[in-house]
Amino acid sequence: MKKTQGNYTILVITVENKFGVLARVSGLFSRRGVNIKSLAVAPTDKAEFSRITVDLDIELEGVSLDQIINQLDKLINVVEIRALDPAESVERELMIVTVEAEASQRDELVDHLDKVGGKVLNIGTESMMLSLVETSSVIDDFESFLSGYGIVELQRTGRVALDSL
C-alpha cells in the first residue's frame, strides 16, 4: 500500500461531509506525533462527501504509514483512503503572494512570472500580488526567487492531486 517517491506521501481520503470529521482524521495523526505538511479539504462532485488530500513527510519516525492508513480507514466517517503514487499522479498547488516590488523591478519580476505561468492579481505602489498554480516543487523554487525581493505575505494551499490518465 505504501507508495512513495521523493520525500513525500500523498494520502487521498474520501470522507462524509459532516462536522467533526476533519478533527477525527487530523487527531489520528496528532496522537502519533506525525506532522501534516499540508492539507486540502473540499466537497467532491457529490455534496455529501469531501476529499481530503494530506501531504506527509515520508520520514515518519517509528510510525508505520500502512498502520496510519489502516487506522484512518477504520474511522466510521472515512469512506475511502489510499496513498497516491507521486509518479502516477498529477498534482497542483496554488500560491498567492504579495511581494515588495518597486516600479523599476517589476519588468524582471513579471518576466519571470510569465515563464512559470503565474498571474498578476493586484498592483500597489510598492508591491504586487501574484498567483501561481503549479507543482509544489516549482512553487518552492519560485518562492525562493521571490524572497530576494522581499515577501510581504504568502499563502500556499498545499498539494491537491488526482491519478494520472
Partner 1 sequence: MTSENIDGGKALIRSLEKEGVEVMFGLPGGAILPVYDPIIDSTIRHILVRHEQGAGHMAQGYAQATGKPGVAMVTSGPAATNIVTPLCDAYLDSIPLVVITGQVPLAAIGTDAFQECDTTGITMGVTKHNFLVKDAQDIPRIVKEAFHIATTGRPGPVLIDLPKDIVDPNSPRSELDWVDDPEMDLPGYKPEKDIDFSGIEKAVELIQTSERPVFYIGGGILKARAAEALRELVEITGIHVVTTLMARGAFPDSHELCLGMPGMHGNYTAVTSMQKSDLLVALGARFDDRVTGKVDGFAPDAKIIHVDIDPAEIGKVRKPDVAINGDCRLVIEAMVDLLRQQDATQTDRSEWKSTISGWQERFPLTYEDSEPGSRLKPQYVLEQLRDLTPEDTIVASGVGQHQMWTSQYWSFDHPYTWINSGGLGTMGFSIPAAIGAKVGNPDRMVWAVDGDGCFQMTAQELVTSTVENIPIKVALLNNSYLGMVRQWQDMFYEERFSEVFLSDDVPNYKAWAESMGCVGIRVDSPEEVPEAIAKANEIEDRSVVIDFRTAPEERVYPMVPAGKDNSSIVVPPSQESQER
Q: Which residues bind partner 1 (CB under 8 A)?
A: 15-16, 19-20, 23-24, 27, 31, 48-49, 64, 66-67, 70-71, 73-80
- State in angstroms the smallest separation of the CB of 80 from partner 1: 8
Q: Which of 106, 110, 91 is nearest to 156 (CA)?
A: 91
Show Cβ contacts of residue 27 under 8 Å, excluding neighbours closer than 6 positions: none
**Closer to partner 1 at the Cβ: 1 or 165?**
1
**Closer to partner 1 at the Cβ: 63 or 123?**
63
**Closer to partner 1 at the Cβ: 50 or 127?**
50
Give the H or E element holding residue 112. helix 106-116
- State in angstroms the smallest separation of the CB of 71 from partner 1: 5
- State in angstroms the smallest separation of the CB of 20 from partner 1: 7
Check: CB of residue 149 under 8 Å from CB of residue 100. yes
Maximum C-alpha span of the chain: 57
- State in angstroms the smallest separation of the CB of 54 from partner 1: 16
Cross-strand pairs, 14: 51, 80
**Closer to partner 1 at the Cβ: 73 or 107?**
73
Lookup result for grid cell 505602489: 125
Cα(118)–Cα(138) distance, integer angstroms: 11
Q: Which of 59, 6, 15, 4 is nearest to 33 (CA)?
A: 59
**Closer to partner 1 at the Cβ: 79 or 120?**
79
- State in angstroms the smallest separation of the CB of 3 from partner 1: 17
